[in-house]
Structure 1
Amino acid sequence: MSNDPGLFHLSRMERLMAFGACFGIGLVLSIIGTILIFSGHMAAFAVCYSLGNVISLFGMGFLVGFKKQFKMATAPVRLTAFVIYIVLLVMTFVVAFAFDIAVLCLIFAICQYCALAWYSASYIPYGRKMIKSTCGACAKAI
């Protein structure tokens, strides 16, 4: 956790609580979005699911500081994954609102989740390597 109080000048406990709140709200929105997909409301799904992911990611800013988080997100090791995640986020909204194609919206949401997982794994030592080996083992099992 960064010692930089960042934009909000919060104490360590307040920052942890803000992170927890963002993570919890993001999780609830993503779950609601997932439930909405079964009701056929693609636009509501796209908004809830994507907004849930963004709020969860935003919560990390309370832990490390928003400026540092942006610097880390745009570091060469993460930049491609970050850009792909943002593009997939936008495409999920475009497909849901402009085209209302349920299958394509679901595909973009799944790809969005995978891009976010790949981006997040870059923060964990050997995280991407673990994902690659797990996917390789699953592919061999099939």
Structure 2
Amino acid sequence: MEKLRRVLSGQDDEEQGLTSQVLDSSSLSFSTRLRWFGICFACGVLCSVLGVGLLWLPKGTRLFAVFYTLGNLASLASTCFLMGPMKQLKKMFEKTRLVATILMLLCFVITLCAVFWWHKKELALLFCILQFLSMTWYSLSYIPYARDAVIKCCSSLLN
């Protein structure tokens, strides 16, 4: 309503970009954001678990790779409800998690390539494992000092 008043009174001379218009029109309450985060995250976990269940079916490798990748993407997208899509994208490509983000997204794409174009089941399974590891490393970047703790733990196991 306020925007309509500004436009009608001639105070809104500048035209907003598409991103600003989308962000203005999609302001959700915190409880709604939290609910949709939970729903989206639960759907992601369900898809991933379903993918693992489909692995043992005949020709199940394709279904596994697709459902597992979709599950990871849904889980990743669920955080957009908590902080907003633009803030999520900015945080994803910050200097501290840039390599983890690129590796994670690359694993998503290469998993699907291994299944649909290269028809290599073993390679698809390997890239699903790499998806899990890259998602874990990416997620740890949001917890202060978690990556350092994991590196220290792994290095102590190797010594």
Paired residue for 1:101? 120
Paired residue for 1:56? 75
SS in 2 for 1:10: coil
Paired residue for 2:56? 38
Paired residue for 2:6? none
The C-alpha deviation readout for 1:94-142, integer Å capped at 9, x for no partner, is 00111222211111000011111111111100111122133234444xx
Paired residue for 2:9? none
Higher RCO structure, 1 or 2 (CA under 8 Å, sep 6+)? 1
Change (3 A) 1:117 1:100: same
Distance 1:61 1:137 in 2: 36
Tell me which moved more, 56-65 or 125-134.
Answer: 125-134
Distance 2:31 2:25 in 1: 16
Paired residue for 2:132? 113
> Aligned runs of 1:1-142 on 2, under 5 Å?
8-39=26-57, 40-140=59-159
SS in 2 for 1:129: helix
SS in 2 for 1:77: coil
Q: Which has the larger radius of gyration?
A: 2
Measured after TM superposition, the shift of residue 7 of structure 1 is 6.0
TM-score of the superposed pair, with normalisation by structure 1: 0.89
Tell me which moved more, 47-56 or 126-135.
Answer: 126-135
The C-alpha deviation readout for 1:27-46, integer Å capped at 9, x for no partner, is 00000111112224122111
SS in 1 for 2:96: helix
SS in 1 for 2:117: helix
Q: Which runs of 5+ in 1 are unaligned?
A: none
**How many pairs were matched up?**
136
SS in 1 for 2:48: helix
Q: Which runs of 5+ in 2 are unaligned?
A: 1-22
Cα RMSD (Å) of the superposition? 1.6
